[in-house]
Structure 1
Amino acid sequence: MASRRLVRAKRIFEGRHALGVAVGACGVAFGLGALIRYSFLQAVDLSVTRLLQREEWPPLDTAMVGFTNAGDPIVVPVLGGVAALALQQMALPRAARLVLMSLGSVPANIVMKNFWDRARPDRKLVNVAVETAGTSFPSGHTMGATALYGSLAALAWIHMDPRTIRLPLTLILVAIPIGVGISRVYLGAHWLSDVVAGYALGLFVLVPVVRHYLKGIPAEVEKEAATKGAPHETTGEVAAALGPTITNGPLALNPSPS
């Protein structure tokens, strides 16, 4: 039942642990930023890149390029805008705003890169398979993908039915940013520490925006879902909060409160 998944998400993201994760992730990113000039971190970064690039396999090269394209700083805003527009048309305005808020990771990454001003991997040290421009820390592809696809994964997990569609779609959306980060190191566009910082800062963006989204869920929804043996129908303020169920073929998407 969608309302029960809403309640679970509300309890997770509105708790202290969620804020702790967000703050801790930010601390990880800034901690790595403070260490990027040190030789021991540079040695770790170089070792990991060379390990990933040790074996050449054309199908893997193709897959890595596909992942890196999914996190492109042009693709992410465009895809996010299209997703937000689609959600708005489906009478899901809060979900649309969640997706748009997650795109704040893109300009935030530009600011971070200018602040840390780290050089890209050197062609003399590793194989650089894709053309890159600008500075390296943190990875913009990874940060943007974590925030955008993470927000879409949250929406899919909370609202989408049936389970046979919801679970695979959520896993795919979670897997995309993981693949994006790995691809950036594999293709020689970033160091491992750039990617880890990208994940951390993407999470730092994702947690607050999902938390803000869930703030619109009234207490009545939580009370109804927590009641054992409660009927599946939602009534009164709960129905008004959840909105109508939208069915499109085999999918049923339960809207968030507007």
Structure 2
Amino acid sequence: MRILSLATMVLASGWVWADTPDTSPATPDAVTAGRSQTSVQMDSPADPDRFGNLPRLVWDDAGRVVTAPARWDSSDWLKAGGAVLAIGTALALDRSTEQEMAKHRTASADRFAKAVQNLGGTPSVLIAGGTWLAGVAFKDPEIRATGVDTMATMGIAQLLLAIPLKEITGRSRPSADKGTHDFHPFGGGQSFPSGHTTQAFALASVLAEHADTPWVSGLSYGLAGLVGVARIEQRQHFLSDVVAGGLIGTFVGKTVVRYNQSRRSDAGSKLAMSFTPMIQPGGYGVSLALKF
């Protein structure tokens, strides 16, 4: 970003305009006037991450997610087809995966799963909020943007996709012992998709997009994957529930981050202009600042 400052101060003569120099002695009032400067902001770039703009930001992000298929090209539809195929394959493997998990279930594995699954619950929300607060406290726009995108992604992924799908499919959890294909739309089942996995992958995808570093991406998605495994181990979800949750969280996260980053870029590239009337003994003028 470049700052072009055009300062035009007229005392005896000047660039913009000048009054005839006053040769009379400066009065106290004139000296006081010379010290006071009034700054008027004519136009400033919109800050999408400003607290007051967050409701509008989330609303726009939700619209972007919902209408995403309308902007897909052939490669995007191919990816969507791959996602459907992945869920279908997982459905076919639900029973065998559950059986294998039951064979290797131990007390230590149970303790580990209970600890890891929390990454897809309240702690992930605290991480998102803490990231935003850290960005505000340290005045770091990138950290602040990461927190904003994480909170927006979690809210949209859960409220717009995961929770409605749970109600629509009404799939029974493995712990209910009703089999892998017990679906009763709007019947109260809460298994498909996995909400914990959705949230874990929402966090992972946002961190990976912002960091754009292989080790961060690997660690983020690896931990999110462990959340999904933990939910299967705890008999709260089938494999297909976890796969669906991971795909939802990742899709929403990537969509939100890329859209918001483009908005931040647009906001930063807008022309901002401010001017400061300046009055001093013997003349007056204006200071003009342009930021683009």
Q: TM-score range by the shorter chain?
A: 0.5 to 0.7
Other-structure match for 2:111: 62
Other-structure match for 2:159: 107
- In structure 2, give the amino acid aligned to 1:24: A
Other-structure match for 1:28: 84
Change (3 A) 1:18 1:139: farther
The match for 1:120 among 155, 160, 173 is: 173
Mapped to 2, the partners of 1:199 and 1:215 lie a distance apart of 24
Could you give the per-residue CA deviations for residues 117-161 of structure 1, whole angstroms, max 9, x where no partner exists? 1111145479xxxxxx96111100011110112212322336xxx
Work out the number of aligned pairs and report it. 186
Other-structure match for 1:137: 192
Matched, 1:155 2:177: no
Q: RMSD across aligned C-alpha pairs, in angstroms?
A: 3.7
Mapped to 2, the partners of 1:185 and 1:116 lie a distance apart of 18
Mapped to 2, the partners of 1:142 and 1:52 lie a distance apart of 17
Change (3 A) 1:103 1:71: same
Other-structure match for 1:231: none
The match for 1:79 among 116, 127, 138 is: 127
- In structure 2, give the amino acid aligned to 1:206: G
Could you give the per-residue CA deviations for residues 67-90 of structure 1, whole angstroms, max 9, x where no partner exists? 211112x33323322222222323
Change (3 A) 1:99 1:124: closer
Deviation at 1:23, TM superposition (A): 6.6
TM-score (norm 2): 0.53
Other-structure match for 2:258: 211
The match for 1:53 among 102, 115, 118 is: 102
Mapped to 2, the partners of 1:186 and 1:58 lie a distance apart of 11
Mapped to 1, the partners of 2:130 and 2:74 lie a distance apart of 28
Other-structure match for 1:198: 245
Change (3 A) 1:183 1:18: farther
SS in 2 for 1:215: helix
- In structure 1, give the amino acid aligned to 2:146: A
Bigger share in helix? 1
Bigger share in strand? 2
Matched, 1:97 2:148: yes
Kept in 1: contact 2:149–2:256 (CA 8 A): yes
Mapped to 2, the partners of 1:96 and 1:65 lie a distance apart of 26
Larger radius of gyration: 2
Give ranges in structure 1 of 5+ residues lacking alignment.
Answer: 1-14, 127-132, 159-166, 220-236, 238-258
